Amino acid sequence: MTTMTATRTGNPITVDVALGARSYDIVIGRGLVATLGERIAALKPGAKAAILTDATVASLHLAAAEQALAAANIPSSRVVVAAGEGSKSFSTFERVCDEFLALRLERGDLVVALGGGVIGDLAGFAASCIRRGLDFVQVPTTLLAQVDSSVGGKTGINSRHGKNLIGAFHQPVLVVADTAVLDTLPRRDFAAGYAEMAKYGLLGDAKFFAWLENNWQDVFAGTPARDEAIAICCRGKAGIVARDERESGERALLNLGHTFGHAFEAAAGFSDRLLHGEAVAFGIVLAFGYSARCGLIAPALTERVIRHLAAVGLPTKLGDLRGPLPDADRLMELIAQDKKVKRGKLTFILVRDIGNAFVAPDVDPADVRAFLAEILAQR
């Protein structure tokens, strides 16, 4: 990853996701929604677009996106769903597909995902299925989506068995990350996205994590450091995706904190009790704690991670989680549904140091259960 400079003066940053014939650009900068039409027209001349968004984002940014498309003579329609994780469901997926078909989208047309991770996942999965595959453009409006979920082609919906268990790999043809739209995010949502930003430093770039420890306020404040930090995360993910698109090896590292985090997120009912990024933050703390339990790292490293995540307002202990929690057995049932499970054996992302994560296959479930029981007993 690239060393921070924080000296950019306003020109967009472009990051290439190198996937051969399916390569695409991530364009990062302030005010980029206004350029959406011209960028799409250059990629897909003559195409019409269906914009999928949620009610909250629609009230803030839909008009600007539609105006940008109209200025480039791109006919567009809108499909608006409810905000929140609940829209990543079978029922909403069915409705979205039906509406796309009613709009008579052809294979040469495209879907625009205007929103956070929920919208990107839902729009991408629907696009992968309609007429056996439409192109789609990601216009992520949350920090979490800009640094993580909009890049790499993972799309899908949730099941009662767990998060993101139904979906497809379907790469976008363009990602337009307008960092100015992040100014409208509630602080809690921005902090939740920041958990994924910190994750990139923790899994593979110790210098970046150290920079974040000293400069995270600038990222929150929207200085040029925000754009640069987002670009560093995107470069890191783009490199991993280019080397391991379908998560057969290295890409699993991007799930640092997710195995534990998804279990707690599912236990909270995929609700605003625990946002995805908050669950990731808590899961990262548990991944470091479990690594310390296994003798891989000194406990002081876990404390360092806790100090930083807590400083930005993320949950790092059970007392930070709202509402009732299941016991260790139920959490283990949820962990057993993790997508990294292979032939019934648990796989975790553990660490040997800050910036040095690795894939740990065949982790002892009994030891994980004992660890979780000890954590739960602290509440």
CA separation for the pair 207, 230 (Å, rounded): 15
Question: Is 237 marked active-site?
Answer: yes
Which position among 262, 293, 308, 339 bears the catalytic label?
A: 262
| Six token digits for residue 80 | 């608006």
Half-sphere exposure of 89 (CA within 13 A, CB side): 14
Question: Is 61 marked active-site?
Answer: no
Question: Is 66 marked active-site?
Answer: no
Question: Is 39 marked active-site?
Answer: no
Which position among 44, 61, 163, 251 bears the catalytic label?
A: 251
Question: Is 308 marked active-site?
Answer: no
Helix (H, G, I), strand (E, B) or coil at 236: helix
CA separation for the pair 4, 82 (Å, rounded): 37
Residue 316 has φ and ψ, to the nearest 5°, of -130, -5
Which position among 88, 99, 226, 255 bears the catalytic label?
A: 255
Helix (H, G, I), strand (E, B) or coil at 113: strand
Question: Is 251 marked active-site?
Answer: yes
Question: Is 258 marked active-site?
Answer: yes
| Six token digits for residue 352 | 């040997």
Which position among 88, 154, 170, 235 bears the catalytic label?
A: 154
Which position among 163, 170, 276, 293 bears the catalytic label?
A: 276
Which position among 258, 293, 308, 339 bears the catalytic label?
A: 258
Residue 83 has φ and ψ, to the nearest 5°, of -75, 150
| Terminal-to-terminal C-alpha distance of the chain | 38
Whether the CB-CB separation of 276 and 85 falls below 8 Å is answered with yes
Question: Is 374 marked active-site?
Answer: no
Question: Is 262 marked active-site?
Answer: yes
Question: Is 170 marked active-site?
Answer: no
- With helix as H, strand as E and coil as C, how does 320-357 read? HCCCCCCCHHHHHHHHCCCCCCECCEEEEEEEEECCEE
Which position among 85, 99, 196, 278 bears the catalytic label?
A: 196
CA separation for the pair 113, 205 (Å, rounded): 30
**AA letter at 292:** A
Which position among 237, 293, 308, 339 bears the catalytic label?
A: 237
- Nearest one of 341, 193, 201 to 276, comparing CA atoms: 193
Which position among 99, 228, 245, 247 bears the catalytic label?
A: 247
Just list the catalytic residues.
132, 154, 196, 237, 247, 251, 255, 258, 262, 276
